Structure formats: structure tokens, C-alpha cells
Structure 1
Amino acid sequence: MITFRHFNSIMEAIVLYLKYTTARARHNAQASSHLMMATSGGNENSTEQIALSLLGKACMRMDLITIHDIMMAVQYDDDSVGELSFRGWTINMQNILNARKHGDLAFQDKDFGMAILWYNRVIDSHLIDSPTVYARRSLAYLYCGLPDRALLDAMKAHCLKNDWPTAFYLQAVALIKLEMKADATDMLEEGASLENMRRNFR
């Protein structure tokens, strides 16, 4: 029997998938131009040709340890300053920030089951919109052998920050785990393309 909560989860997944396919089509056009230039060199590995970063290479190898180390180094640098909801300036805000701190400590200690529980409290509060929290919970789900949930969280991180390479790379890892390798390759290419564009703007 499908409960109302399960129905909402299904509908949320459908909406996120539609956003994912729309974004994929948009970024494919950008990635294609990079790939056309890269393939002129004769290398058959198109993903390598667009200069994957250390994070991109780790995701391609499904090297969760390296992904974790990189995400720990980056911390919350990729979150926008305005991640806190106006609703968040209440007495509950400190409780949610404490929950995120506990989640971060569990994530650092690689206690991923506990990290998921703390991040659930942060996300369910609807007081903080943080792509990094979703990305961290996504990696935690991967460690716990739940790639479907990891994919959903990576997609949510993408919705909050649609030009964030990390969100694409985590989708790639989850898709590889789900044996959707063609889609995973697209995500790796799009993540690498975004990183290359970032470098060009520096």
C-alpha cells in the first residue's frame, strides 16, 4: 500500500528526474563542443580528453575514499551565502546548525549511518538549503550501498546549484552503481565541462 508520504517521494523523484533530463540536454550542447575539440587529438577516451579533475577521476573510478577526502577539504565553500531561509531565524535555527555540525563530525569520522540521521534532521527542517548537505548525504548513501537514494540527493544538490560540478560527479557515481553507464558518462562529461569553463573564467 502506497502511503501519502511515499506518493510524495515518488512525485518528488519524477520532478527531479524531469529537471535532470532538461539540464542534461542543456549541458550536452556545451559538453559536445569541448568533446569535438578534444577528439581531434585522436584519443578514444573522450572523458579523459576534457581534463577531469582529481574529483572527476575519483568519481570515474568510484573511489569513495578520495571523494570523501576532497569533500572534507572543500567543506562548505560551494554553498551560497544566502543558504539560510528567512524562516530559519528562529529559536530552532541553532538546533539545526547543531544538527549539521553533528552530521559533519560523523561524516568526517566516516560514520555514514549517523551522518545520514543528522543530515536528515537538517534537510527535513526546511530551514537550510545547502547543496553541500545533500552532496554529503549522497556520498553517505553510496557508502551504505544505497545508490538510488544517493542519485536522488545528488540531483537535489544539482537543483540547488545547477552549475556545480560535484553534483554531476556524484550523479555519475550513483549511475555507475545502478549500471546506467551511458548516463554516468554524460554526467562525468558535463561535470568536466563545467570545471573547464570555470578554469577559463579565472
Structure 2
Amino acid sequence: MEILPKHSHPHYLFYISLLLLLSHFNFSDADIPACNAQDEAVLIKIRDHFGGPNGPLSDWDSDCCYFNYVGCGGEGSSYGRVTAVTFPLNGILSGTIPSDFGDLPFLDFLTIANNVNVTGSIPKSLGNLKKLYHLDLNSNSLTGPIPNEVLQLTGLKEVDLSNNKLSGPIPPSVSSLKSLTMFNVSHNQLCGQIPSGLNKFGKSSFVSNKCLCGSPLPPCK
């Protein structure tokens, strides 16, 4: 089971995320649980979406808790359930983000970053991930709006959607997320007023967009 953490992203979130991510994978091989069959079926669909059994996820074939880039829970109700998927920052993926990720009910940590050939929109189905606290989709080529469904997930703590081509406004529902400790949508094509609940984050979280305005950026005209 290979987990490749972020190593080139400039944000301090790298250090926090690495520590949190490693907490998922502190088993010896003998302690890795058997994968839940439903979760494994979902990951096989994701593998097939990204090129099939001969594609970049060719090692995803049996017992998904041993798949590269996948972590499983080791206790309680999450035992044997897929809790983390974090892809390497080497551009191995291409195509759209499959909606099937929304069918992993215990997924709480998702990183698909630095894959410039990952295109299309952010799936609304990610809003089904009630346990999700970490979402990193930075430095892909994603387009379209930020789904309101995703920014209604009350457990979200870390959201990085920077360096894409996202458009439209930031959904105002994000203001209700009291647990957010990191939020970055810089370097996109977003427009409109920044929701008031985000004014605790600095300018660097919002710069280089089409026409975002309001605190911490200049006032809207």
C-alpha cells in the first residue's frame, strides 16, 4: 500500500495534512483489514473510469485496503472501510473526476491534485461524503461551479480548490462551516462577493480570480 503525500504544494496545509494522513496508515501489513466488498466495487469503477485494468491504477485488482493510494479504517464502524484516497502529484490521472467517489460513505480524506489532465466539473456526489473533512483538488484543470452540495458538508476542515478554472460564485452555504481551518480558491475564474464566513482567511486564499470581491479583498462595487 503506497501513499504518496504532497511534496510540492506551497501551503502550510502540507505539514498538517501529512500528519493527519499518516494517522490512517499506522498498521503493519499483518494488521491491514480486509476491504469491504462494496467499497472495493466502487474503487474498481473508479479504476475503470481512469483507464481500466491496464491504466494508471492497474494494481487495483483485489483487496482494496492494499491498493496504492488507498487507506482503510482500522477500528470501530470504519474497520475495513475506505477512509482515504490520495493520489500522487505526478499527473498519472486524466479525464473527469468520477461521481463514484460519492459512494464511499466512510471517505474522510480525498486528494486529487497536480493532475493537469483532470478536467470537467467537481461532482455534486461528493456532497454525499458526510464524513469528509479534507478535500484537496488543487492544480488540476477543473471547470464549472463549486457545488453547493460539497460546501454544505458540516465536517469540512480543509478545502483547497486553487489553481483550476472554476467559475461562478462561492456558494454562500460555506459560511455555516464553523470547522473550516483552511480554505483556498485562489487562481480560478470565480466571481461575486466572498461569503462573510470566509473573512477569517487571508487574501492569498482568494487572489487571481475573475471578479471576487469583499473582505479580505477590496469591497464590491
Q: TM (normalized to structure 1)?
A: 0.34
Name the one with the larger helix percent. 1
Q: Which has the higher contact order (CA 8 A, sep 6+)?
A: 1
